[in-house]
Structure 1
Amino acid sequence: MSEQARAAVAVLSDDLRRRMYDFIRRADRPVTRDEAAESVGISRKLAAFHLDKLVAVGLLSAGYGRPGEPRPVGRAPKVYQPTGLDVRVSIPPREHELLAGILLEGLRVQGPEETGREAALRAAAARGRELGAAERDRAKPGRLGAERALTCAGQVLERHGFEPVRASPTLLRLLNCPFHPLAAKDPDLVCAINHAFLAGFLEGLDASTAEAVLAPRPGACCVELRGA
């Protein structure tokens, strides 16, 4: 989860803010402070405080006056509307969008003599290589020994919800499957995609001293990274 998403979740943990945000989202038009205050039964001043919190984390945008309405004499009232920020919370984190993107790319690039599974695995490997190469270019880690490769991999995969744990200097286990619960519907296909993605990631990272190995364990990711 991004820092912005974490901040948004923290702000929405307050019941008043959450109710006010729901009201503004459902209004389908810019809402004034007075309207927001009335929707949850609080003062205009207190509503302004909560609305500013929602603006600060990017859930709402603020402006003056409603589009298409005559401008009143004096200063137009401040109005609020949703920004379109999409905040989704999953514990542990899930990466359904990543899997969906891989499957869509597989369909897009599928060759005439290629099965859907083959195309999906090819797309997964390509997506993994892209992620690994981007990290290599960003961090410029130099030549990677097995331990350094797993450390670098763990830092990146943590951001994608794999929950890596260093079981030994040359073994990185992944406690969470970011593709769960979709993996339960077709574990053979999803685990193969996951394996291709992680193998491609190591390749893009230029970590020839590490390998992605299928090692299914109950309640964990089906792949682990080992020093080669």
Structure 2
Amino acid sequence: MGVIVGAVTTEPAAPAIKAVAALEEDLRRGMYTFIRGAVRPVTRDEAAASVGISRKLAAFHLDKLVDAGLLRSRYEAVGGIRKVGRTPKVYEPADTDFAVTIPPRRHGVLADILLDAVVTETEGETARETALRVAAERGESLGAAERASLRPGRLGAERGLTVTETVLARQGFEPRRETPTCVRLRNCPFHPLASKAPDLVCGINQAFLGGIVAGLEVPGVDAVLIDPAPGGCCVELRADQPGG
């Protein structure tokens, strides 16, 4: 199931859900569609007229759309001419794009990896090798950024596995601890693309997750390819046995 407003983004789920929920109301959705189609700032009076409601009621709904991040507003003289009285408030689409997918999908991450692979492919590299390299680099960069937000201190295998779980949960993998040393990922953020080219996409996924572990500087934790359950991820995380 997926609901998309604009293009796919890496925005956290909560703002995206709030934006989509704001469009459930017919009047708001009508004004939002009108404003997107206007290709210029729209006044409250114009927005109200587009759906046949009062200016006051339109102001309420328009401000809800601003609060949800779908519109932005400012005061501007209509037609660039300043008249007597208060400058009217105008509305236009915000630059932010939102996407909600249930369960979580990260097709944009895969697209970015493949695009960077095309741009950075070097002589002597196959397309697949380049994609795996870029995926590992992207994961390592993400892991390093996450590590920078942690408290200083060495991460043992057990704590490192827990930290990795937290990071992957934010990426939509839905991790679950199967045993003290094994984390299964119940969701594949790259589904259904993984089913179209499993060798390539699963390889990219393993490289990406291995890069996250490397960026987190987690010792004794590996991203291992497995045969996934339906809808599940083709990679699981395994940590060294305590004392191993």
TM-score by length of 1: 0.93
Consecutive unaligned residues in structure 1, runs of 5 or more: none
8 Å contact from structure 1 (residues 102, 120) kept in 2? yes
Q: For structure 1, which segment, 218-227 or 160-169, has the greater mean C-alpha deviation from structure 2 after superposition?
A: 160-169
Amino acid at match of 1:93: P
8 Å contact from structure 2 (residues 138, 211) kept in 1? yes
Is 1:157 aligned to 2:168, yes or no? yes
Residue 238 of structure 2 aligns with which residue? 226
Report Cα offsets for 1:170-219 as digits up to 9, x if no partner: 22111111111221221110000000111111111111221111012121
Residue 176 of structure 1 aligns with which residue? 187
Whole-angstrom CA distance in 2 between matches of 1:100 and 1:189: 13
Q: 1:104 aligns with which of 115, 118, 123?
A: 115
8 Å contact from structure 1 (residues 11, 17) kept in 2? yes
Whole-angstrom CA distance in 2 between matches of 1:44 and 1:16: 12
Amino acid at match of 1:225: L
Name the CA shift for 1:154/1:139 in 2 (closer, same or farther; >3 Å): same
- Identical counterparts, % of pairs: 61
Residue 29 of structure 1 aligns with which residue? 40
Residue 56 of structure 1 aligns with which residue? 67
8 Å contact from structure 1 (residues 65, 78) kept in 2? yes
Q: 1:184-223 alignment to 2 at 5 Å?
A: 184-217=195-228, 218-223=230-235
Report Cα offsets for 1:88-138 as digits up to 9, x if no partner: 121112111211111122222222111010011011111111111111121
Residue 145 of structure 2 aligns with which residue? 134
Q: For structure 1, which segment, 109-118 or 59-68, has the greater mean C-alpha deviation from structure 2 after superposition?
A: 59-68
Whole-angstrom CA distance in 2 between matches of 1:205 and 1:78: 47
Whole-angstrom CA distance in 2 between matches of 1:65 and 1:107: 44
8 Å contact from structure 1 (residues 133, 205) kept in 2? yes
Q: Please provide the CA RMSD for this pair.
A: 1.7
Aligned residues: 228
Report Cα offsets for 1:40-99 as digits up to 9, x if no partner: 222211111111111122211112235643222222222111112201121112111211
8 Å contact from structure 1 (residues 144, 209) kept in 2? no
Whole-angstrom CA distance in 2 between matches of 1:134 and 1:121: 20
